[in-house]
Structure 1
Amino acid sequence: DDILIYSKNKEEHEEHLRIILELLQKEKLYAKFLKCKFWLDSVKYLDHVINSHGVHVDPTKVEAIKSWTAPKSPTEVMQFLGLTGYYRRFIEGFSLIAKPLTKITQKNKTYEWGEEEEEAFQLLKDKLCSAPVLALPEGSKDFVVYCDASLKGYEAVLMRREKVIAYASR
């Protein structure tokens, strides 16, 4: 039930607002004015910050990750992977990096936190704390997907005009 409108400039935004407000009126849909915010330069939405530069990881989540201590149980590993996995599109090669952590959460596996798990944990923290700003997809042309596959999995990156829109891996 949220409506977010992104525009490149003031004139375009006025036009977008007019179109949306007319559409709401036509469909007899209502927005509570006190809950509406207009002309924002930056929006925090679904634990992301979106502005004219692109999509950012929410800084409060970055702070939480910075202070995250090494997990002491499979449950704590899953909580960490849940948070970092939510932002996987910001992390090139996420699945391969997270693999040692994923392995120790499997049932019937003894929980052993070793050097490999610590390295994966620290690398995910580092990558998320220095995550790139992802470009906003605009238009329908000039998109490129680069991918690499092996028996271990795949990696891909969606780009437009040399700007990263999202990473994917499995």
Structure 2
Amino acid sequence: MPSIEVALERCRGMMYYAMFDFLKGFWQLPLHESCREVLSCMTDRGVFTPTRVPQGSTDAALHFQSTVEMALGDLVNKSVIVWIDALLVFAETAEELVNVIEAVLQKLDEFGFILNPKKCSLSLTEVKWCGRIINKDGIGHDPSRIQALREMPPLTTAAELQQFLCATNWMRAGLVDYSRVAWPLQERLDAALAGTNKTKRAAAGIQLDLTMEELESFEAVKNLLAHSATLTYPNPSKQLINGSRKYPSSNRTTSC
């Protein structure tokens, strides 16, 4: 999978956006005959063998991502960002956006892809996409998601801890010193899931009694969420200057 943070750097200077979502995404891709038997599902009513790519299979997301990128060709990361079944289209002007949308729809139609009209939005100056708020000034995180995480009660199972860390890790680019602050929680999760298959079902059955240090880490991460930074876009025309210290535990990068 591509880095979503790197991909979104292409939105620098873009004023207009559109979003598209596929209708029953994975189900639109045919499943090769050699894979059908191993993905069959046995029930009390018989064995059901899929002919389309089922969501949840190991490589389904990667396969869908690469297929959509192949369909869109040179538009990818130039005018369109692909994240599995979600597309973000961007342009500097409204007229250019219309042209890009037409090109995207034409290419998708050639491959037989179908979009979900209920999840498509056109001609926006700010979008909420993949949990991020994107506009010409930079990239922030959805306030409603931040609020939901900040209101989480103390964690009592490994599944809750896993969910919390996965959600905050998705936002880590805007959270200062996240790795250090969240480390006690990550250590506890690794210890709790040691020797298991690390699935949600396995984690749900593991009870946790967080230590004082871990509770402090939990509250500190929620405090980071409250002060989540809106990231501006890097400007390749600017000169970057690193200011280092004699004992380089950290450094500072500024543009001029």
Q: TM-score surpassing 0.5?
A: yes
Q: Report if aligned partners of 1:65, 1:129 keep a CA contact under 8 Å in 2.
A: no
SS at match of 1:6: strand
Percent identity, please.
24
User: Aligned to 2:99, which of 18, 42, 54?
Assistant: 18
Kindly provide the amino acid, as one letter, of the partner of residue 13 in structure 1. A
Q: Report if aligned partners of 1:93, 1:155 keep a CA contact under 8 Å in 2.
A: no
Q: 1:160 to 1:49 in 2, by over 3 A?
A: farther
Q: Report if aligned partners of 2:175, 2:225 keep a CA contact under 8 Å in 1.
A: yes
User: Aligned to 1:39, which of 116, 123, 126?
Assistant: 123
User: Aligned to 1:113, which of 210, 230, 234?
Assistant: 210
Q: Report if aligned partners of 1:57, 1:87 keep a CA contact under 8 Å in 2.
A: yes
Q: Distance in 2 between matches of 1:127 and 1:136?
A: 21
- Alignment-derived partner of residue 227 in structure 2: 130
- State the aligned residue count: 152
Q: 1:80 to 1:25 in 2, by over 3 A?
A: closer
Q: How does 1:11-160 map to 2 (within 5 A)?
A: 12-22=93-103, 24-25=105-106, 29=110, 34=117, 36-107=120-191, 111-137=208-234, 140-142=236-238, 144=240
Greater shift, 103-112 or 64-73, is seen at 103-112
Structure 2 segments unaligned to the other structure (5+ residues):
1-84, 195-206
Q: CA RMSD in A?
A: 3.7
Q: Distance in 2 between matches of 1:58 and 1:69?
A: 20
What is the TM-score of this pair, normalised by structure 2? 0.48
Structure 1 segments unaligned to the other structure (5+ residues):
149-153, 163-170
Shift of 1:55: 1.4
What is the TM-score of this pair, normalised by structure 1? 0.68
Q: Report if aligned partners of 2:158, 2:189 keep a CA contact under 8 Å in 1.
A: yes
User: Could you list the runs of 4 or more consecutive aligned residues of structure 1 that deviate by over 3 angstroms after TM superposition?
Assistant: 22-36, 107-112, 143-148, 154-157, 159-162
